[in-house]
């Protein structure tokens, strides 16, 4: 696991600049560093040593040194690919997984990408053709950003490294702010920094003579196979997941596992058979503290559990540092908890397994039950449902009315992912600035278009796999683990696991009784029934409670009345949200936290 940074070389002091870019992401790779510089490129690399500790440093070269590689990630099937490439005449200089990318690119070009099993973001410079080739993994586990500024094409694992380049212009992308207010993360290709883009998951790019070209090389295709029985699906899940976990344990250092009270991390920890599990929680309330469960489960599987209770003071004090590491504001309160569990694990191990991706792949979110729950109401003709919903929306928010409002909307209108913070009407009232940000439905439309004719649950999953997972779940997983020089691996997000899940019928994914139905039955083979059948909880954080306390209410109110807040927002509306929440009139905690997160992030990068 590493960090990469570089640029097409059009400056006189490239060595110094790429060195400063590398220093900005030293946390991603504190073990060693490397550079390659010629008159066309400057490539930097920071290494966290995991495989081939002695000879795996980068940049790496092919036999005649015409190709140069810097790579962030892990290739789990590198041994099979290495054997195939050696048979084809390629000569390897190291035992590292990284080198298969060089020889694989020589042998197969971009057709190498579908052969890979792993998480990756890499670039390869061709010294003869002067072309830069790069790619990002299937799901977007590893990040890769780029910008064309001045005469330079700049790329890297984290945007903060770009700030060191003399051609970089730091400017806020205000349209990203408006979209963020709805999604709680940055949902577009262009980031919060104007002119800086993320390479999308499952995409490759080439850059040559000032021209950038990007293309998708893989996609998810849900096509249910109705023939196998439930027992057969359970067997296939067990076998495929066990194989994935085994692949994800490949390392020359110790591997641990995160553990919450949920089935995903429990299933990973049980199958992985690692020695140590890691858990964090808040206070004594079981709603916010899963440590007691984790210790019991660790005893059940015969492993050591290492835990920590996060105090409110620690949580709030770490928040600015966390927004720095995030690069872009992310209003998911669990990101801070993830930072602390990564910090805890990094004191004992270099690699940790985690359960991200199971919900999106196997249908785990409670919202996926909504289409079944509303089936009876859908028997009412659509025009009548829409009319009832429109009337209900004229009244103040209430749980019963919200039912009518949501069921008066089509799927594409009511579901943009697992977070829906401010509606378009609300965000435009709240913002002082005019941004021209696209409507939420415009951003989700391409994914809904690709799943026309599929059932509602499948369409929701496909949307979440392409937006929510990469924009929220995997962003915080990468940035919080790397902030602590820890490699986080996600065995559910494996192309073989996905290929299996694509074929599981909807009735074995989501039922009226539970989510991840077939996967939970597979987990029963390794976990006790209480764990395997436990309903989705998430990573609970008591933000709504803290915002009613004088201390934290005061901190947020001060931010809402600041000059920065006045620049972007109607501050009277902000303080009204805060006061309504404190009085118990409405639960505005997610809206408050979304705005507060942006203000803290803005203070870090633009203050």
What pLDDT, in 10s, does the model give residues 391-417? 776 666 666 667 677 677 789 989 999
pLDDT of residue 541: 83
Residue 227 vs residues 274, 332, 504: alpha-carbon distances, Å: 36, 40, 10
Handedness of CA 165, 171, 177, 179 (dihedral sign): negative
pLDDT of residue 571: 97
d(CA 128, CA 21) in angstroms, rounded, equals: 26
Neighbouring C-beta atoms of residue 393, cutoff 10 Å: 15
User: In the chain, what are the domain boundaries?
Assistant: 2-216, 230-364+473-532, 542-607
d(CA 420, CA 400) in angstroms, rounded, equals: 18
Q: Both tokens of residue 519? A: 């996967």
**295 and 305 Cβ atoms separated by less than 8 Å:** yes
The reported pTM is 0.94
Pairing of strands 255-258, 351-353: parallel
Distance of CA 182 to the CA centre of its chain: 17
> Do 2-216 and 230-364+473-532 fold alike per CATH?
no
- Which CATH number does the domain 2-216 belong to among 3.40.50.2000, 3.20.20.140, 3.50.50.60, 3.60.20.10? 3.60.20.10
Q: Both tokens of residue 597? A: 């997160």
Q: Both tokens of residue 424? A: 């378009």
d(CA 405, CA 411) in angstroms, rounded, equals: 12
Find the Cα–Cα–Cα–Cα dihedral 394, 398, 401, 405, rounded to 10°: 70
Q: What is the pLDDT of residues 208-242, one digit of tens each?
A: 999 999 999 999 999 999 999 999 999 999 999 99
Strands in 127-265 per DSSP E = 131-136, 145-149, 152-156, 196-198, 203-208, 211-216, 255-258
Residue among 519, 490, 435 nearest 201 (CA): 490
pLDDT of residue 398: 61
Instruction: Name 410's Cβ contacts closer than 8 Å, sequence gap at least 6.
Output: none
> So what's the architecture of 230-364+473-532 in CATH?
3-Layer(aba) Sandwich (3.40)
Neighbouring C-beta atoms of residue 225, cutoff 10 Å: 12
User: Counting beta carbons within 10 angstroms of the beta carbon of residue 203, is it exposed (0 to 12), middle (13 to 18) or buried (19 or more)?
Assistant: buried
Residue 8 vs residues 37, 147, 167, 195: alpha-carbon distances, Å: 10, 11, 11, 16
d(CA 478, CA 22) in angstroms, rounded, equals: 17
d(CA 383, CA 387) in angstroms, rounded, equals: 6
Instruction: Name 200's Cβ contacts closer than 8 Å, sequence gap at least 6.
Output: 136, 140, 189, 214, 216, 470
**180 and 472 Cβ atoms separated by less than 8 Å:** no
Distance of CA 448 to the CA centre of its chain: 20
Residue 153: phi and psi, rounded to 5, are: -105, 115
User: Which strands form 304-309's sheet, in the order they lie side by side?
Assistant: 304-309, 276-281, 255-258, 351-353, 487-489
d(CA 25, CA 3) in angstroms, rounded, equals: 7
d(CA 518, CA 238) in angstroms, rounded, equals: 10
- Note the maximum CA span of the chain: 72
- ω before 530 within 30° of 0 (cis)? no
**43 and 69 Cβ atoms separated by less than 8 Å:** no
Q: Both tokens of residue 501? A: 């899940």
**447 and 289 Cβ atoms separated by less than 8 Å:** no
Question: 172 - beta bridge partners?
Answer: 193
Q: What is the pLDDT of residues 134-150, one digit of tens each?
A: 999 999 999 999 999 98
**523 and 267 Cβ atoms separated by less than 8 Å:** yes
Instruction: Name 396's Cβ contacts closer than 8 Å, sequence gap at least 6.
Output: none
What stretches in the chain show pLDDT beneath 70? 1, 49-56, 284-288, 375-378, 393-401, 403, 406, 530, 532-539
Residues serving a catalytic function are 2
Cα atoms in the 13 Å half-sphere on the side-chain side of 138: 24
């Amino acid at each position: 696991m590493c960090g990469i940074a570089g640029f097409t070389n059009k400056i006189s002091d490239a060595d110094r600049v790429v060195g400063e870019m590398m220093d900005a992401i030293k946390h991603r790779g504190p073990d060693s560093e490397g550079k390659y510089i010629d008159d066309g490129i400057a490539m930097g690399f920071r290494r966290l040593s995991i495989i081939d500790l002695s000879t795996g440093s980068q940049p790496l070269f092919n036999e005649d040194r015409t190709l140069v590689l810097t790579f962030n990630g892990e290739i789990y099937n590198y041994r099979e690919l290495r054997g195939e490439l050696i048979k084809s005449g390629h000569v390897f200089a190291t035992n590292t997984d990284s080198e298969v990318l060089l020889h694989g690119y020589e042998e197969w070009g971009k057709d190498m990408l579908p052969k890979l099993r792993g998480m990756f973001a890499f670039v390869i410079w061709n010294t003869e053709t002067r072309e830069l080739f790069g790619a990002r993994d299937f799901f977007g586990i590893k990040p890769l950003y780029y910008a064309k500024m001045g005469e330079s094409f700049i790329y890297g694992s984290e945007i903060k490294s770009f700030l060191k380049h003399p051609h970089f212009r730091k400017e806020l992308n205000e349209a990203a702010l408006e979209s963020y207010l709805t999604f709680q993360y940055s949902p577009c290709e262009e980031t919060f920094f104007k002119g800086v883009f993320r390479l999308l998951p499952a995409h490759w790019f080439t850059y040559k003579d000032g021209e950038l070209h990007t293309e998708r090389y893989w996609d998810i295709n849900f096509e249910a196979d109705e023939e196998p029985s439930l027992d057969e699906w359970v067997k296939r899940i067990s076998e495929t997941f066990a194989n994935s976990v085994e692949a994800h344990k490949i390392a020359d250092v110790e591997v641990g596992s995160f553990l919450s009270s949920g089935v995903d991390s429990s299933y990973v920890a049980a199958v992985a058979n690692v020695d140590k599990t890691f858990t964090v929680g808040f206070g004594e309330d079981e709603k916010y503290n899963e440590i007691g469960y984790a210790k019991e489960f660790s005893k059940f599987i015969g492993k050591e559990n290492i835990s920590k209770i996060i105090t409110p003071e620690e949580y709030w004090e770490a928040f600015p540092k966390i927004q720095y590491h995030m690069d872009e504001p992310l209003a998911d309160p669990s990101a801070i908890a993830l930072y602390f569990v990564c910090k805890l694990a990094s004191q004992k191990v270099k690699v940790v397994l985690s359960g991200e991706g199971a919900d999106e792949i196997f249908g785990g979110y409670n919202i996926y039950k909504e289409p079944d729950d509303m089936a009876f109401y859908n028997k009412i003709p659509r025009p009548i449902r829409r009319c009832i919903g429109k009337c209900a929306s004229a009244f103040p928010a209430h749980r019963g009315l919200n039912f009518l409002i949501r069921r008066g909307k089509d799927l594409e209108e009511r579901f943009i992912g697992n977070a829906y913070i401010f509606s378009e009407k609300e965000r435009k009232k709240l913002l002082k600035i005019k941004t021209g940000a696209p409507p939420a439905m415009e951003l989700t439309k391409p994914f809904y278009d690709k799943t026309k004719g599929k059932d509602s649950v499948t369409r929701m999953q496909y949307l979440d796999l392409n937006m929510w997972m990469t924009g929220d779940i995997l962003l915080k997983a990468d940035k919080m683990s790397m902030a602590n020089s820890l490699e986080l691996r996600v065995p559910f997000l494996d192309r073989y696991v996905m290929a299996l899940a694509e074929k599981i019928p909807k009735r074995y994914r989501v039922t009226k009784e539970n989510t991840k139905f077939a996967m939970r039955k597979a987990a029963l083979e390794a976990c006790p029934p209480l764990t395997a059948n436990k309903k989705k909880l998430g990573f609970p954080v008591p933000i709504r409670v803290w915002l009613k306390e004088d201390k934290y209410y005061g901190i947020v109110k001060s931010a809402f009345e600041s000059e920065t807040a006045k620049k972007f927002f109607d501050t009277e509306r902000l303080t009204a949200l805060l006061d309504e929440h404190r009085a118990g009139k409405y639960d505005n905690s997610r809206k408050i936290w979304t705005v507060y997160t942006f203000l803290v992030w803005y203070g870090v990068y633009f203050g």
